[in-house]
Structure 1
Amino acid sequence: YVERGYITPQQVYNLLSAEEGQPALYDSYYILVLDCRSTERYEDSHVVTARAAVTVIHPVLGCLVSCVELQKTFLMNCLIVFLGSAKARTDSPDLLHCFFQLSSLGMDPVILLGGFSAFHALYPFLCTPLMVLLEPERHTLTIYPSEILEEALYQGSASQASDYRIIKNLHITHVVNATANWPDAFPNRLRYLRLRLSDDAQQELVEALPLASRFISSALRAEPAGRVLVHCSAGRSRSSAVTLAFLMEHRRWSLLHALRWLKERRACSAPNMNFLRQLLTYEELLFGSKITSLNDIRR
């Protein structure tokens, strides 16, 4: 549970990794990230696309951008305010100033739990001393797979699974390749499960789902624990079916619960109707009765 007004480093990571058609981060009006630390610390390193808060909220002049402009400009109306440490909210006048200035304008800012230091500890590869604000600069950014289970399970595209920088930065050890014909990119360095699935109305999952669930579970329970990337072509349908089956079987979650969890972390996930029907059957097999209805997951 995360208290209202706060956001976790993992949630920020997944916001920065979001894509729907194209990576959301490529749009310079996607999200406003404010860094309330000192100018020196900001210039030393900050989260990619973050702005120094003083450029938006001046300590004397107040908000330099009108509320109307903020709401028109930033599509998600989502503002993230950084703080130095998890306990800094009451000790940081700059943070409080930013937070209450934006709140008074009718915005709904959120504070990063643990501040920049917590984010940097988990995702140093998404921190930079460079200003990355305009679209041409944003198109040079690496977009990462979604983090479904913290420091454990990731879901993404075939191109992400073929980028060794991503594999290395996320410490991936195991990969579930759910594509029909995309080759395993690093067979000599990683352990692979090749499923060869097609994203269509005829594809059967009866053998693939338990096989993939066992593979993922074995990797995560290993000593030392592995990290698993599940991918298909776009990271939307086939990979989602595999991830959902694992969450149902090993977290003992209903399909509806698992689907909501996945959507919160990867909004573009969208298993096709054939896969959803088979996941409903899989749920009944796992729990001995139907828990989720088709109408539940169509909403």
Structure 2
Amino acid sequence: MSGLVLCEPTELYNILNQVTKLSRLTEPNYLCLLDVRSKREYDESHVITARLVKKRAGEYLIPESVDLECVEYCVVYDNNTSSLKVILKGDSDDDNTDEGHQGIVLGAAVECGRTLTHLARHPIHILRGGYESFSAMYHFFRTQKIIWMPRELDDFQPYPVEIMPGRIYLGNFRQACDPKIQKDLKIKAHVNVSMETGPFFAGDADKLLHIQIEDSLEANITPFLRHLCHFIEVHLELGSVILVFSTMGISRSCAAILAYLMHRNEQTLKRSWAYVKKCKTNMRPNRALVAQLSEWEKVVLGDIVTDILDPLY
């Protein structure tokens, strides 16, 4: 039996944007996203790939195609639940009518989540702030689409993951070239850690930091790290949103983000690694960059603390 945990909006955003070769949303046992609002509200708009959970005779009816025992993430949301305490219980036996859901708007996600815990191996995630908070932060992930065909999920283009909510994103070159992503995320500055030249902020040194290093074991990012940290800090002070990217968004850009987090928080490579890994599960700086990050740890903390011989790195 699993339990309940609160899921921050940024966590769900990052869950939706994980990739292997394709979006992880293509994997049938990756994410089960359940909407326990009224049918009218669901039909108006919901989070992409979310399924409506009906309630009849006081019981939540989980879609038959869902096998929670095999699902990695099960996220449940209502309108605006902000804690794991059921604030108000439903008292209607009706189906998903507006009247039937009037009594369970607050706390409905928790109430539903509790009924699912005995079916799942992993914790049931309750979205903090519900649909109201998530849709306000990520309006571009709202939809009226109910059925997603496998081909449509194959074609789904993930957004950059969020490292610092609403401030720093980590992505790849394709995402950095997508004007819709720049607009939706309100990107105002780029850190390009690749040999390619993107279409945005070209020639504007105030908004573009281009660290031209190859994706190879000979790459040397160390000479750029102080400037990198300063560039990001300046833009954070200005209130700018920053996208850090490399060709695939797996090695060089991740190393840059790790270096910045170590500097900003005065923390170990190990702790920074765990945080970025949670945001972007396929991150994998190459061995040469890891060795340079170990030396950067010595610069930041005065000593090397993290054992990079650990297979984790």
With normalisation by structure 2, the TM-score equals: 0.85
Runs of 4+ in structure 1 displaced over 6 angstroms?
Answer: none
Q: What is the CA–CA distance in structure 1 between the aligned matches of 2:223 and 2:254, rounded to whole Å?
A: 16
Q: What is the CA–CA distance in structure 2 between the aligned matches of 1:282 and 1:187, rounded to whole Å?
A: 29
- Is 1:210 aligned to 2:205, yes or no? no
1:213-232 per-residue CA deviation (whole Å, 9 max, x = no partner) reads: 1111111111xx00110100
- Is 1:169 aligned to 2:184, yes or no? yes
- Is 1:256 aligned to 2:287, yes or no? no
2:68 maps to which of 56, 67, 70: 70
Instruction: Name the amino acid aligned to 1:103.
Output: T
- Is 1:85 aligned to 2:80, yes or no? yes
The residue number in structure 2 matching 1:268 is: 282
How far has the Cα of 1:99 moved from its partner?
1.6
Q: What is the CA–CA distance in structure 2 between the aligned matches of 1:184 and 1:146, rounded to whole Å?
A: 19
Farther-moved stretch of structure 1 (103-112 vs 60-69): 60-69
How far has the Cα of 1:26 moved from its partner?
3.1
- SS for the counterpart of 1:33 is strand
Q: What is the CA–CA distance in structure 1 between the aligned matches of 2:202 and 2:187, rounded to whole Å?
A: 13
Instruction: Name the amino acid aligned to 1:127.
Output: R
* Aligned partners of 1:235 and 1:269 also within 8 Å: yes
The residue number in structure 2 matching 1:110 is: 125
Superposition CA RMSD, Å: 2.4
Instruction: Name the amino acid aligned to 2:234.
Output: S
Paired residues in the alignment total 289
Instruction: Name the amino acid aligned to 1:79.
Output: C
1:192 maps to which of 184, 208, 211: 208
* Structure 1 stretches lacking a partner, 5+ long: none
Instruction: Name the amino acid aligned to 1:216.
Output: I
Q: What is the CA–CA distance in structure 1 between the aligned matches of 2:199 and 2:66, rounded to whole Å?
A: 47
* Aligned partners of 1:144 and 1:166 also within 8 Å: yes
- SS for the counterpart of 1:176 is strand
- SS for the counterpart of 1:104 is coil
Change beyond 3 A, Cα 1:99–1:298: closer
1:151-170 per-residue CA deviation (whole Å, 9 max, x = no partner) reads: 11110010000001001100
- SS for the counterpart of 1:22 is coil
* Structure 2 stretches lacking a partner, 5+ long: 91-107
Q: What is the CA–CA distance in structure 2 between the aligned matches of 1:106 and 1:295, rounded to whole Å?
A: 35
The residue number in structure 1 matching 2:194 is: 179
